[in-house]
Amino acid sequence: MHTALIRPHRTFIQMPTWSGVSYRVRSTVFQFLTQAMPIFLVICLIAGLMDVLE
């Protein structure tokens, strides 16, 4: 007889560590700087050029 059918699996919840939070924050900021920031800067550059040439 399987006990999984009788007793559902419970997830284990624990407090996050500062090193884990720091790792997640650094990786998110790095991803933002490498993906979104260049696109934002190009949009600003194009808008600035359009404003100057108008």
Rg (CA), the chain: 24
Distance between CA 31 and CA 37 in Å, rounded? 9
CA–chain centroid gap for 41, Å, is 19
Q: pTM for the whole thing? A: 0.61
pLDDT digits (tens, 9 = 90+) for 4-48: 567 777 788 899 999 999 999 999 999 999 999 999 999 999 999
